[in-house]
Amino acid sequence: MKLDRDWIPGPEDLDWIEAAAEPPIAPLLAIERAAEPERVPIVDRATGRVLAALAAGRRRIVEVGTAFGYSTLWLALGQPDGGSIVTIDPDRERTDRARGWWREAGIADDRITVVNAPALSAFAAGDAALAGPFDLAFVDALKPEYAAYVEELVPRLAPGALLLADNVLWSGRVAGPRGSAPADPDTEALRAFGPAVLRDTRFIATILPVGDGLLVGGYRG
Ligand SMILES: C[S@@+](CC[C@H](N)C(=O)[O-])C[C@H]1O[C@@H](n2cnc3c(N)ncnc32)[C@H](O)[C@@H]1O
């Protein structure tokens, strides 16, 4: 059979993937239910599944932007036994609730360290928890700061580490149908960020069109 190169995956394919996969554990479902009415932005479930898969074999992970700990939990579930995560978010009310869901998932408190500070301040202060080397870094906080997070993260990455960043397609505002619309600062930052990493020789990177667009970069070290 000839391959149809014009075909792109549609909603039926995404539904089929979700139906074929292991159902999310109860605390993941609880976070999804809590985040929606409170309008707390979290990665979508398909992105969560990608995070878990990419966390396999990655013992030390750093995350910028915790919120209710949904992406943190997917990462923790994908990590090997003995893996650890440092996650940064200045919003303690959110991260305290995240801790409750991690506990429900059976994740020991000492596996996940929360740094309650703005990420750039925490990096600049030389917070001991943020000392590298990390095997995976996930960026999902303030969009205009993404490039600055990467500069702080690079010296903390192990060779071969993965750099991940969410929202790099920004619901079609970066490219696609809304790609030429006038931009707010978040959109402006994301329009610059993705292409800059794709051309950054420190990484071998691409963008997966999953969820809101997930940048995946392998650090050449
Ligand atoms: C998109 S949410 C994170 C969602 C989470 N990664 C998930 O998918 O479950 C962004 C979070 O970044 C946090 N944030 C805001 N300013 C920040 C900063 N300067 N440094 C780190 N996190 C920040 C917000 O409090 C918010 O909870």
Q: What is the pTM of this model?
A: 0.97
Domain limits for position 129: 11-219
| Ligand 1 midpoint to CA 155 (Å) | 22
**219 beta partners:** 203
- pLDDT score of 1: 76
Contact between 49 and 75 under an 8 Å Cβ cutoff? The reply is: no
| Ligand 1 midpoint to CA 118 (Å) | 9
Is beta strand 203-208 parallel, antiparallel or unpaired with respect to 214-219?
antiparallel
- pLDDT score of 150: 98
Give, using CA atoms, the residue closest to atom 17 of ligand 1: 118
Give, using CA atoms, the residue closest to atom 19 of ligand 1: 118
How many structural domains does the chain have? 1
* Count of beta carbons in the 10 Å neighbourhood of residue 57: 11
CA distance 13 to 11: 5
Residues 112-143 have pLDDT tens digits of 999 999 999 999 999 999 999 999 999 999 99
- pLDDT score of 217: 98
The answer to whether residue 1 sits within a structural domain is no
- pLDDT score of 179: 65
The answer to whether residue 85 sits within a structural domain is yes
Tell how many helices (H) and how many strands (E) occur in the chain.
8, 7
List helix spans (H) across the chain.
11-20, 26-38, 45-55, 70-78, 92-104, 119-124, 146-153, 185-198
* Count of beta carbons in the 10 Å neighbourhood of residue 107: 20
Residue 215 has φ and ψ, to the nearest 5°, of -80, 135
Produce one character per residue of 151-175: b if its CB has 16 or more CB atoms within 10 Å, e if not: ebbbebbbeebbbbbbbbbbeebbb
The answer to whether residue 58 sits within a structural domain is yes
Residue ranges of the chain with per-residue pLDDT less than 50: none
The answer to whether residue 55 sits within a structural domain is yes
Residues 73-84 have pLDDT tens digits of 999 999 999 999
Instruction: Report the pocket of ligand 1 as residue ranges, CB < 6 Å.
Output: 41-43, 64-65, 67-68, 70-71, 88-91, 94, 118-119, 140-142
The answer to whether residue 121 sits within a structural domain is yes
Q: Which two tokens stand for residue 44?
A: 């979508």
